[in-house]
């Protein structure tokens, strides 16, 4: 009695036959010689299903790891490297590695595009690019993880649910016909594959050909000795044995030479790869040194420009004191001008000292738990006189129950001082300045807003760059060196925080920073 199988079992058999068909015909198909293949994507060591790889969302605390490899045909063994490129809305980075894995952790919020490709160091070929899009968003990341869990639960449920058997004779007949057809096709492919393999047996390298020749000679000698055993003398047999041993020694020598050449080729490839990596490092170091030299030249140019005018003014005032018979009141006015100008030079020198300290990576933090409300209140109080001189209304909205945070109070006080003094400098008379602080379970945020001149889109993009001169100017001729916001960025980032600005021309600006409560050592 014929037992009818279920549709599920037949589907499994059908898939197996299809796999066999592909296995036999794949050597004869035209495929790409080199192709990048994405093996896996893991978030915090958890693999992401293929259905979710086109819209990956992670939080700023997550780590994402990409596994990939270069698929090579024709047994190619030329050395190659991987080129990794990561880009967001404002920044991009490209580098080369020789590993099949890349990881990122604690990416700032935003949209990222990662591209992975392989290339030959001599630039004779380059593969296609694997493109992976990632969104870093703490809120959307939780929803993304829930979608993956729901998908996995549904998948597990569908696998565990048994399928009902269909014992229809028509299904059996149809399945039998398909099975017979596939079996016939499989037999045909096996025969074709055997013919192809037989044809390929004649394609041997020089070493294999020599080995076959030696073996044929040896076998011929053995057969001749066996066939004419009665007619071959002991001396002839000994001579044939010696010739046989000589052929074996020659074959062994050839094999050793081939092995030595292969080892030497591998060694040369390794040395070539190391030289390429060293060259890349030297080129990168050279570029970095040139950029540092350019930044240094720009810094000294800014310093000389900013000190030249006040120094010339002091010289003129001193000459005025020496050349004219001034009254006591006039002398006092000149002395006051000299004092104000000298104060500007000292202030600029202090900012330059901070810049040099930050560039030399000597910034050290003395952290202690503190309520940032005390810092903000103190800075606001100190700047009230400057705000009153321009009739600017300044308001601080700081909750009383802000949790303490471990920071370097002196550095953060300087950050708040820079932001509030800038808001006053770039606001017109009668303007408003608002200072806001808020906290959640992860981080503390401080915002300083004004309704002053505002910034253009170009100014927003370069606001935190060192020595940046923005299009807006202080409304009452106050001093501005261009280093303040860059110093703010460096000090906040030293606390593992981040800074940003929102602004539009004529609509004021909001400068803000956030510092996480849990900071890595």
> Higher model confidence: residue 184 or residue 338?
338
Total Cβ atoms within 10 A of residue 205 = 9
Q: CA-to-CA distance for 384 and 386, rounded, in angstroms? A: 6
pLDDT in tens, 432-447: 999 999 999 899 999 9
Question: Cα(381)–Cα(423) distance, rounded to whole angstroms?
Answer: 15
CB 512 within 8 A of CB 448: yes
The answer to whether residue 204 scores a pLDDT higher than 70 is no
Highest mean pLDDT among 92-106, 178-192, 328-342, 497-511: 497-511
For domain 31-160, give the fold.
Immunoglobulin-like (2.60.40)
Question: Which of 354, 293, 288, 344 lies closest to 314 in space, CA to CA?
Answer: 344
Instruction: Name the pairing type of β-strands 110-119 and 101-105.
Output: unpaired
Q: Taking residues 30-57, what's their average pLDDT?
A: 82
91/197: higher pLDDT: 91
Q: Which of 66-80, 292-306, 392-406 shows the highest mean pLDDT? A: 392-406
- Confidence at residue 215, expressed as pLDDT on a 0 to 100 scale: 64
What is the rounded distance in angstroms from the CA atom of residue 159 to the CA atom of residue 260? 55
pLDDT, residue 5, reads 43
Does the pLDDT of residue 32 top 60, yes or no? no
When mean pLDDT is compared across 205-209, 333-337, 367-371, the lowest value belongs to: 205-209
Residue 152 confidence class, pLDDT cut points 50, 70, 90? confident
Least confident of 187-196, 379-388, 398-407: 187-196
What pLDDT, in 10s, does the model give residues 252-271?
Answer: 888 888 988 888 888 899 99
Closest to 500 in 3D by CA, of 487, 484, 485, 480: 485
Given a cut of 90, is residue 322 above it in pLDDT? no
pLDDT one-digit tens code per residue, 102-135: 998 888 889 999 999 988 877 678 888 889 999 9
Q: What is the pLDDT of residue 65?
A: 93
Query: For the chain, what is the mean pLDDT?
Result: 77
Outline where 325-434 has alpha helix (H): 328-359, 372-382, 384-389, 409-425
Region 75-92 average pLDDT? 80
Average pLDDT over residues 482-511: 88
- CATH code: domain 363-516 is 3.30.565.10
Lowest average pLDDT, out of 264-278, 284-298, 371-385, 453-467, goes to 284-298
Closest CA to 351 of 430, 466, 439: 466
* pLDDT surpassing 70 at residue 200: no
Does the structure show a pLDDT above 90 at 3?
Answer: no
State the pLDDT confidence band at 240, using cuts at 50, 70 and 90: confident
pLDDT of 338 above 80: no
Band (230; pLDDT cuts 50, 70, 90): very low
pLDDT at residue number 506: 82
pLDDT of 295: 66
143-147, 149-153, 235-239, 347-351: least confidently modelled range:
347-351
Q: In this predicted structure, which of 11-20, 61-70, 265-274, 365-374 has the lowest mean pLDDT? A: 11-20
Mean of the pLDDT values across residues 208-220? 61
Phi/psi at 79 (5° precision): -65, 150
pLDDT in tens, 62-77: 999 999 988 887 655 6
Mean pLDDT value of segment 286-290: 84
Averaged pLDDT, 177-191: 67
Give the pLDDT band (50/70/90) at residue 330: confident
Say if residue 27's pLDDT is above 60. Answer: no
Question: What is the C-alpha separation between 372 and 409, in angstroms, rounded?
Answer: 8
Where exactly are the structural domains of the chain?
A: 31-160, 363-516
Residues 6+ apart with CB under 8 A from 28: 196
Within 109-207, strands assigned E span 110-119, 130-136
């Amino acid at each position: 009695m014929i037992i009818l199988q279920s549709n599920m079992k037949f589907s499994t058999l059908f898939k197996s036959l299809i796999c066999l068909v592909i296995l036999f015909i794949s050597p004869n198909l035209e495929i790409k010689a080199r192709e990048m293949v994405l093996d896996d994507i893991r978030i915090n060591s958890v693999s992401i299903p293929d259905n979710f790889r086109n819209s990956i969302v992670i939080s700023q605390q997550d780590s994402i790891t990409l596994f990939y490899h270069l698929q090579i045909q024709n047994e190619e063994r030329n050395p190659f490297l991987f080129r990794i490129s990561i880009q967001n809305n404002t920044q991009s980075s490209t580098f080369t590695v020789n590993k099949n894995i890349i990881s990122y952790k604690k990416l700032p919020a935003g949209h990222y595009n990662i591209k992975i490709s392989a290339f030959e160091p001599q630039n004779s070929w380059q593969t296609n690019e694997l493109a992976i899009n990632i969104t870093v968003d703490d809120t959307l990341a939780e929803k993304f993880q829930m979608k993956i869990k729901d998908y996995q639960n549904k998948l597990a449920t569908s696998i565990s649910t048994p399928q009902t058997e269909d014992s229809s004779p028509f299904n059996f007949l149809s399945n039998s016909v398909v099975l017979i057809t596939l079996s016939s096709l499989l037999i045909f492919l096996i025969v074709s594959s055997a013919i192809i393999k037989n044809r390929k047996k004649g394609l041997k390298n020089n070493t294999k050909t020599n080995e076959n020749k030696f073996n044929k000679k040896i076998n011929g000698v053995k057969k001749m000795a066996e066939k004419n055993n009665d007619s071959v003398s002991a001396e002839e047999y000994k001579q044939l044995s010696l010739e046989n041993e000589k052929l074996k020694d020659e074959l062994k020598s050839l094999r050793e030479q081939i092995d030595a050449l292969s080892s030497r080729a591998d060694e040369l490839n390794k040395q070539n790869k190391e030289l390429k990596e060293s060259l890349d490092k030297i080129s990168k170091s050279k570029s970095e040194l040139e950029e540092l030299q350019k930044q240094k030249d720009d810094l000294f140019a800014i310093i000389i420009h900013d000190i030249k005018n006040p120094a010339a003014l002091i010289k003129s005032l001193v000459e005025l004191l020496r050349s004219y018979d001034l009254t006591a009141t006039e002398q006092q006015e000149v002395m006051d001008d000299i004092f104000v100008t000298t104060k500007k030079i000292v202030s600029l020198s202090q900012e330059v000292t901070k810049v040099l300290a930050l560039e030399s990576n000597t910034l050290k933090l003395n952290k202690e738990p503190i309520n940032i409300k005390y810092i903000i209140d103190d800075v606001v109080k100190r700047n009230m006189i400057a705000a009153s001189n321009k009739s600017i209304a300044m308001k601080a909205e700081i909750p009383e129950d802000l949790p303490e945070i471990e920071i370097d109070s002196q550095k953060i006080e300087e950050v708040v001082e820079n932001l509030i003094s800038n808001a006053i400098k770039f606001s017109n008379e009668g303007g408003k300045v608002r200072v806001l602080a808020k906290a959640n379970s992860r981080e503390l945020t401080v915002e300083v807003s004004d309704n002053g001149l505002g910034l253009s889109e170009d100014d927003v993009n370069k606001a935190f760059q060192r020595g940046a001169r923005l299009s807006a100017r202080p409304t009452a001729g106050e001093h501005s060196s261009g280093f303040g916001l860059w110093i703010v960025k460096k000090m906040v980032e030293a606390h593992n925080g981040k800074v940003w600005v929102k602004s539009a021309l004529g609509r004021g600006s909001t400068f803000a920073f956030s510092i996480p409560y849990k900071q890595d050592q």
